Amino acid sequence: MPNKQKIAIFTTPQGHASIADAIQQKIERLAGSDYEVVQYFSDAMLMKEYAMVYKFAPYIFSIPYNFTKINQAATVSKKIFRHKFVEPLTEFIEKEKPDLCINTNFIYNSSLEKICSEKNIPFINVLANPGNVHPLEVSTVANYNLTFDTDTQFSLEDMYPDCTFYTTGWFVQDIFESEYSATAIRKQYAIAPDTFHMLIASGSEGTNAILKILPSLLIVSEPMVITVACGKSKLLTDQVSITAKFVSTISPNVEIRVLPFTKKMYEYMQASDLVVGKAGPNTLFETVATLTPFFAITHVTGQEDVNLEIITNEKLGFVEESIMGASKLLASIISDTTLLNPFSKSVEAMAEHNKESGKLLIKVIRKLI
């Protein structure tokens, strides 16, 4: 049997790691007999600072986001990233000797462009934004830049005529796309079949979303369970615990559950009638993969603006970022869950669109190696 060809995936923390894991899973599931996958992971510079910004003040993110769109600023940024990563990436590539490189974070682009060109290694660049793609994310050297949808592909082709773009959909980990029994999952987590269950998927790197919707919980008469994903944040866990005790005295029909970091987030999404949170693309499309509508109550200004448009235009759920508006709309949904029904077909259609990402990726890979 011939040796497997090796594929190296380059990633970082936050959502990029989820994309990398999804890509690896799909390659191994669909073509594992042909390819071996390795990952390069770096807790990259500025990632902690980035997380702090979008945790506490996502609205100011538009300042650096727009500034680095300026040609001079983009050029300087590329030089900084290349200086930081070209050496460790070269060492990794010389050690692993991959036949193909796949990048999931723009900070590696300038380094991989140099290394892959010199070593004649095919290079796929995954655009980790479903739209509103930043110039730094596009690679002019990559054999393919992978896009979420054809609208983004066609727009980028006009802007970058010398680059090659290909639409795959969003890469979601297999476990979110697996079939499941909602009845069995709800029973597992002691959620009655007729009880409204909402998951707040803010986590340690989101915003304290529970505080935004607190007013709507104080007037709820129907039984409901709210699971708040707190990740590894002790601060958020403490805040939610205090809120849960307060709400239980005012609205005894409302049960708020604190969820620490878990690798089974997909099960909580599967058990939910609605997922509420920041409009990050991974959380959005993971929710959609479980055939659950999404309610966006905040987003990172600039970077995630287009995600709100996708939710609205593709009918994947609700968008309401004002405290009063979100509280009022949520109260309406809880009292009349049929408001969720119009999203069923469109959510399913989007889930099917993204399910094809693995097959389309393999098609591209086979063209290159």
Give the model confidence (pLDDT) of 302-343 as tens digits: 888 999 999 999 999 999 998 889 888 998 999 899 999 999
Quick check: 56 pLDDT over 80? no
Overall fold of domain 5-167 = Rossmann fold (3.40.50)
Query: Residue 16: is its pLDDT beyond 50?
Result: yes
Q: What is the rounded distance in angstroms from the CA atom of residue 153 to the CA atom of residue 151? A: 5
Class of domain 175-352: alpha beta
Give pLDDT, residue 40. Answer: 98
Contacts of 344 (CB under 8 A, 6+ apart): 291
pLDDT computed for residue 60 by the predictor:
46
More confident residue, 301 or 36: 36
* Predicted confidence (pLDDT) at residue 172 exceeds the cutoff of 70: yes
How many Cα atoms are found within 13 Å in the side-chain-facing hemisphere of 240? 27
pLDDT of res. 78? 82
Q: What are phi and psi of 296, to 5 degrees?
A: -90, 120
Sequence-ordered strand ranges (E) for 154-293: 165-167, 196-200, 224-231, 254-260, 274-278
Report the C-alpha gap between 30 and 307 in whole angstroms: 29
pLDDT of residue 63: 44
For the segment 212-218, the average pLDDT, to the nearest whole number, is: 73
Could you tell me the two tokens for 133?
């793609």
Rounded to an integer, what distance in angstroms lies between the CA atom of residue 357 and that of residue 169? 5
Residue 98 clears pLDDT 80, i.e. is over it: yes
Q: What is the pLDDT of residues 257-312, one digit of tens each?
A: 999 989 999 999 999 999 999 899 999 999 999 999 999 998 888 888 999 999 99
Confidence of residue 45 (pLDDT cuts 50, 70, 90): low
For 352, list phi and psi in degrees, rounded to 5. -65, -40
What mean pLDDT, rounded, does the chain reach?
A: 89
Domain residue limits, the chain: 5-167, 175-352
| % of the chain beyond a pLDDT of 70 | 87
Predicted pLDDT at 95: 98
Structure-token pair, residue 16: 């990029």
Measured distance between the N- and C-terminal CA atoms of the chain, rounded to whole angstroms: 17
Q: How far apart are CA 84 and CA 111, in angstroms?
A: 9
Residue type for position 266: Y
Q: What is the pLDDT, as a whole number, of residue 76? A: 66
Quote the pLDDT of residue 25: 99
- Please indicate whether residue 74 or residue 368 has the higher confidence score (pLDDT): 368
- Bridge partners of 47, per DSSP, are none
Encode pLDDT of 100-140 as tens digits.
999 999 999 999 999 999 999 999 999 999 998 989 999 99
CB-CB contact of 198 with 224 (8 Å): yes
Reported as a pLDDT band with limits 50, 70 and 90, residue 206 is very low
pLDDT (average), residues 13-25: 91
79 φ/ψ angles, rounded to the nearest 5 degrees: -65, -40
Name residue, tokens 């958020």: 236
Mean pLDDT of 26-31: 98
Three-class SS state of 145: strand
The Cα 32–Cα 30 span in angstroms is: 6
d(CA 352, CA 177): 9
Cα 274 from Cα 33, distance rounded (Å): 39
349 residue type, one letter: A
pLDDT at 231: 84
